[in-house]
Structure 1
Amino acid sequence: MIETWQIILAIIIVGLSIVMPIYYSRQRKNKTQQEEVIERMQIREYGRKINDETRAKRDRLN
């Protein structure tokens, strides 16, 4: 006969097997979004740096 503690244990195991993959996938998604934002900021800063160097070079020639 199945006892109460076995039923509770089975419910906990099934619940965790459903909840944990959802939690980790959301955590991974948030991390990749943060990395994309940082990458865009770095690209934008690199573009500004190149523009400043080009302007400075053009000003020296004139």
Structure 2
Amino acid sequence: GCRMLRERGGCVLVQDEDSSMVYGMPKAVAEEGLADRVLSLKNMGPSIMRHVERSRRSRQGTP
């Protein structure tokens, strides 16, 4: 799933080990080099919001 998402221009965010209860799937994605960013759980939401805002501005043609 993550590989396909990246191939189509998507952004893959992965929760870091320190904030994960179980790090199995996030670790696999990170080790495969498929994660654009590895973040703590508390930083995940703000990062998603920044990404969405950049995408929105890009589609509107604003900086």
Larger Rg: 1
TM-score, normalised on structure 1?
A: 0.35
TM-score, normalised on structure 2?
A: 0.34
Bigger fraction of residues in strand:
2
Bigger fraction of residues in helix:
1
Report 1 or 2 for greater relative contact order, CA contacts < 8 Å, sequence distance ≥ 6. 2
